[in-house]
Amino acid sequence: MENRVEKEIIEFNNPRDILGMGIKNILQYRKTDPKFLNLIKDWNKTIIIGFKDIYDVTVIFKGMNIHINYGSTQDYDLWLEIGSIQTMTDLAKGDLGPISGFLTGKIKVKKIWNILVLLHFIRIFIPNLRMAGDVGELRQKGIGRRNEVGA
Amino acid sequence: MKLERNSRINQTNKSEIKSKLEEIFGAKNVTDKKHNLLPYSYDATECEPGMPDFICMVENVGQVINVVKYANNKKIPLVPYITGNNIGGLTIPQEGGVVLDFGKKMNQIIHIHESHMYALLEPGVTFGQLYKHLKENYPHLRYCYPFAPPYSGVVGNAILSGMNNLSCIHGSMGDWINGLEVVLYDGSIVRIGSCFMGDKLSVDNWHSRYPMPDLMGLFVNWQGATGIVTKCAVQLWPRKKIERKLLAICKNSAVTAEFIREIGRLEIVDDISAVSVEVAKMALGDPTPVKLDSEPDFPVILPMSAHNEQHYQVKVDLVNQCIKKIEKKYNTTIQCTDFDYFAACIGDDIRVFADLPNVITPLVEYSGLTWVGTYAPPDNLEPLIDETAQVFIKFDIPMFIYMKSMKSSHYAIFRPIIRYKKELEEERMKKATADILEVCLKYGCIPYKTPVWMAKRLQEIIDPNWLKFFKRTKKFMDPNNIFNPGRWGI
């Protein structure tokens, strides 16, 4: 009898807001990476990602499910404010790191005493953001664009 | 679907006409079979369908001359057709007749002149074809691309003054026509522009529209109602070393309108394309998007080109300075960042609006598509947005508005778009577009690629002397009304 290996997959909801769609896209960059799956698995936390002067997005990690909601909630484990969409792209490009982001005030944190939660979330989010940055760099060079000749 | 409008062709003479058409085009290029005619009888819009009597695949100018002479003699309508992707019912025969399909076989890129920077094209050349040809053979030159599929025709868009991704800096495509070759009603062939010097003197003489008396206006924006264009020379532009895009996000109509105007006036961006946030969400996979309270109203894409990094950075700094002025004036924030990196974060599908030519997926997902595409006074963008939004709410349609600055904000494009299920929602969408048209007319907008029903409405309010002159000109250019009759409702 064959041993079937059950492939673990992350289940996402379908956010209806634009930034929520973006967060989902970012989180999906490593959705098949076993290391990423181990970070997510059973890490049951609620993280708010706030985009300054735009709005907040709540990301609920539960088991192998990630639920992304428009707006914030009172009951959260960590609230992270990204100063602007420029800050997000700087993080993606690698022009800004999370530490320098905090030190320069471009990234703000509430409940910073939950340092383990913060560090864990950084391990989830930042490498994915960097992967997005790699894709952005390729697109800027004209690689993988939708109108690529011969594509 | 009632298709058989009153065809001008005497049905008892059809076999004689078919024989003549086969003599001109070759039997394999002529059809009158209903299943072949059907796709040419309608398009994605709400415009009334109309069946042609014949379809002919055109291969060369000689065939056009012969068919025009014959049609003029017999008073048979001729409808030029390239790919039928216009949103205006422009290739739907109003009075039956012969559809001349240029898209399949008369589609050569005749000549690219590198130093004079123009492309001489047959009518069937598509954007995708031209893009590929330039990228592979003339990478230092570029043309423009609209929010239209790569299989749309270049010449059709040019002679209908289409807007595109270089519109802020260079205006509409109609402005970039250097020359036309046209077949007139009597079968004579005329060259408009510097090409009037004639082939014997020089091959490469399609360099300029001016300075002779400008007859180009007799054919641009006439929807094929004054003659049949068989060649068109379009200006190309130097491709700069750096081509990148910024993305800005604007809240509310006032800020968005000001942003479009003021950035346009800087004369440093190639294009300004603003879409309502619902449209961005459509591209990202939400078929029935709703704008949520705190979401920005309009993402705006700013393609820019520069000679080097310093040049590009100067432009970015100028954009940021302009943004700061607008932020101060309206006590708001406008966030701006690099589009390529932002798109990689938000979702690659958003690139449909940037990587032109491209199939703009939100535009093709439904069986029906219509819009009220207008040239608009830039000062009126704010009330246009606000009042059109009310129409979208009234009819429970996701807001789909597209706006551009044209030629450094001399004028703007305001284009509310509706996609719908043709069989189920057409009557309701007709009402919605009629309401939107009223808003647009109220604020001085003029529809382009005007469908017949819009033209008729427009005629009720425009200068009657213009209308008289327009009809006289049409009569002069086409005494037997063979060229796409019924266009503009006349």
Out of B277, B284, B355, the one facing A147 most closely (by C-beta) is: B355
Q: Are B96 and B53 in contact (CB under 8 A)?
A: yes
Q: What is the pTM of this model?
A: 0.94
Asked if residue A140 belongs to a domain, the reply is no
Query: What mean pLDDT is predicted for residues B330-350?
Result: 96
Tokens of B383: 């009330």
What domain range is A44 assigned to? 11-134
Residue B45 has pLDDT above 50, yes or no: yes
Distance CA A90, CA A83 (A): 11
Q: What is the mean pLDDT of residues A4-18?
A: 83
Query: What DSSP state is assigned to residue B215?
Result: -
Provide mean pLDDT across the span A132-148. 90
Orientation angle between helical segments B422-442 and B381-394, nearest 10 degrees: 150
Mean of the per-residue pLDDT values of chain B: 94
A21/B294 CB distance under 8 A: no
| pLDDT for residue A151 | 41
| Paired sense of beta strands B30-31 and B335-338, if any | unpaired
Is some CB atom of chain B closer than 8 A to the CB atom of A25?
yes
Which long-range contacts (C-beta less than 8 Å, at least 24 apart) are formed by B428-433?
A: B428/B395, B429/B46, B429/B368, B429/B370, B429/B395, B429/B397, B430/B46, B431/B395, B432/B391, B432/B392, B432/B394, B432/B395, B432/B397, B433/B46, B433/B370, B433/B371, B433/B372
Chain B interface includes A17 (CB < 8 A): yes
Residue A18 lies inside a defined structural domain of this protein: yes
* A149 is a domain residue: no
* Contact between residue B47 and residue B89 where contact means Cβ atoms under 8 Å apart: yes
- Give chain A positions within 8 Å (CB) of B340: 136-137, 139-140
Cα–Cα distance between B276 and B281 in angstroms, integer? Answer: 9
Judging by DSSP bridges, how do beta strands B242-250 and B273-275 pair with one another? unpaired
What are the tokens at B382? Answer: 């704010």
> What's the one-letter identity of residue B292?
L
Contact call for A17 and B292, based on CB within 8 A:
yes
CA distances from B115 to A107, A138, B137, B196, B198 (A): 51, 31, 14, 20, 20
Residue A6 has pLDDT above 90, yes or no: no
Interval B39-60 mean pLDDT: 94
The yes-or-no verdict on residue A150 having pLDDT over 60 is no
Q: Are B61 and B227 in contact (CB under 8 A)?
A: no
Say if B201 is an interface residue toward chain A (CB within 8 Å): no
Contact yes or no for B342 and A89 at CB 8 A = yes
In single-letter form, the type of residue at position B399 comes to: M
Residue type, B458: L
Mean pLDDT on B163-191: 96
Of A16, A135, A147, the CB nearest to B344: A135
**Chain B positions in Cβ-Cβ contact with residue A55 (cut-off 8 Å):** 292, 294-295
Q: Do the Cβ atoms of A16 and B132 come within 8 Å?
A: no
Answer whether B290 sits within 8 Å of A16, measured CB to CB.
Answer: yes
In chain B, what residues touch A147 (CB-CB under 8 Å)?
128, 131, 150, 355-358
Do strands B109-113 and B98-101 pair parallel, antiparallel, or not at all (unpaired)?
unpaired
pLDDT surpasses 50 at B63 = yes
B285 vs A22: CB contact, 8 Å cut-off?
no
**Residue A2 domain flag:** no
Binary contact (B342, A17; C-beta < 8 A): no
User: Residue B153 pairs with which residues in a beta bridge?
Assistant: B126
- What does the block give as tokens for B350? 């958003």
Q: In the structure, what pLDDT confidence band is assigned to residue B12 with cuts at 50, 70 and 90?
A: confident
Report the number of distinct structural domains present in chain A: 1
Is position A147 within any domain? Answer: no
pLDDT over 90 at B41, yes or no: yes
Nearest beta carbon to residue A89 from set B150, B244, B345: B345
pLDDT exceeds cutoff 80 at B300? yes
Q: How confident is the model at residue B148 (pLDDT cuts 50, 70, 90)?
A: confident
Three-state DSSP state, A101:
helix
Report the pLDDT averaged over residues B129-146: 95
Residues forming a β-bridge with A60: A46, A67
CA distance A77 to chain B (A): 23
Distance from CA of B302 to the nearest CA of A (A): 14
Q: Are strands B118-121 and B228-235 parallel, antiparallel or unpaired?
A: antiparallel
Q: What is the pLDDT of residue B203?
A: 61
Q: How far is it, in rounded angstroms, from Cα B480 to Cα B309?
A: 58
Quick one: which H or E segment has residue B31?
strand B30-31
DSSP string, B333-354: --EEEEHHHHHHHH-GGGGGGT
Q: Tell me how close the Cα of A17 comes to any Cα of chain B, in angstroms.
A: 7
pLDDT > 50? residue B250: yes
pLDDT of A80 over the 90 cut: yes
pLDDT tens sequence across B99-131: 999 999 999 999 999 999 999 999 999 999 999
In this prediction, residues B5-27 reach a mean pLDDT of: 92
Task: Judge: B345–A92 Cβ closer than 8 Å, yes or no.
Answer: yes
Question: What pLDDT is stored for residue A9 in this prediction?
Answer: 87
B2 CB burial (10 A radius; 0-12, 13-18, 19+): exposed
Q: Band the pLDDT of B489: cuts 50, 70, 90.
A: confident
Q: Is A145 on the interface with B (CB under 8 A)?
A: yes
The token duo for B290 is: 């709703």
Pairing mode, if any, of strands B30-31 and B446-447? unpaired
Is B277's Cβ below 8 Å from some Cβ in A?
yes
pLDDT at residue B133 greater than cutoff 70: yes
Q: Element (H or E) spanning B115, and its range?
A: none
Contact A135 B347 (CB under 8 A): no
From chain B, pick out residues whose CB is under 8 angstroms from the CB of A145: 351, 355
The reply to whether A72 touches chain B by the CB within 8 Å rule is no
pLDDT in tens, A25-77: 999 999 999 999 999 998 999 999 999 999 999 999 998 999 999 999 999 99
Verify whether the Cβ–Cβ distance B292 to A16 is below 8 Å.
yes
Contact B281 A21 (CB under 8 A): yes
For chain B, say whether A13 makes contact (Cβ under 8 Å): no
Residues B89/B426, Cβ–Cβ less than 8 Å: no
pLDDT for B5 beyond 90: no
- pLDDT score at B128: 94
CATH for A80: 3.30.1050.10
Average pLDDT over residues B74-97: 93
Which residues sit opposite A79 in a β-bridge? A48, A110
Give ∠ CA B358-B359-B361 in degrees, rounded to 5: 135
Cα distance between residue B192 and residue B466, in whole Å? 23
- The separation between CA B144 and the C-alpha centre of its own chain, rounded to angstroms, equals 12
User: Is residue B198 predicted with pLDDT exceeding 80?
Assistant: no
What mean pLDDT is predicted for residues B153-157? 96
pLDDT at B229 over 90: yes
Helix (H, G, I), strand (E, B) or coil at B252: coil
Residue A5 is assigned to a structural domain of this protein: no
The shortest CB-CB distance from A140 to any of B244, B281, B295 is to: B244
pLDDT band at B344 (very low <50, low <70, confident <90, very high): very high
Per-residue pLDDT reduced to its tens digit, B412-451: 999 999 999 988 999 999 999 999 999 999 999 999 999 9
Length of chain B as a residue count: 490
Q: Is the pLDDT of residue B479 over 80?
A: yes
User: Cα distance from A35 to chain B (closest Cα, Å)?
Assistant: 21
pLDDT digits (tens, 9 = 90+) for B303-315: 999 999 999 999 9
Tokens for B351?
Answer: 């690139």
> Is some CB atom of chain A closer than 8 A to the CB atom of B137?
no
B333 CB neighbours in chain A (<8 A) are 53
| Residue B6 pLDDT | 78
Domain presence at residue A72: yes
Q: Tell me whether strands A65-70 and A11-12 are parallel, antiparallel or unpaired.
A: parallel
* Assigned token pair, B63: 């065939």
Angle between helices A115-140 and A18-27 (to 10 degrees): 90
Q: Does A94 touch chain B (CB under 8 A)?
A: no
Structure tokens at B151: 């299989």
Nearest CA in chain B to A29: B345
Using a pLDDT cut of 90, give the percent of chain B over it: 87
For residues B415 and B402, what is the distance between their CA atoms, to the nearest angstrom? 5
Interface contact flag, B135 A18, Cβ < 8 Å: no
Chain A nearest C-alpha distance from B321 (Å): 16
Would you say residue A4 has pLDDT above 70?
no
Q: Which of B170, B139, B343, B167 is nearest to B241 (CA)?
A: B139
pLDDT at B195 over 60: yes
Give the gap in angstroms from C-alpha B359 to the nearest C-alpha of chain A: 9
Q: What pLDDT sits at residue B224?
A: 96
Asked whether the beta carbons of residue B351 and residue A145 sit closer than 8 angstroms, the reply is: yes
**B391-423 pLDDT, tens digit each:** 999 999 999 999 999 999 999 999 999 999 988
- Three-state DSSP class for residue B57: strand
CA angle A49, B332, B336 (to 5 degrees): 60
Does residue A150 belong to any structural domain of this protein? no
CB pairs under 8 A between A and B: 111
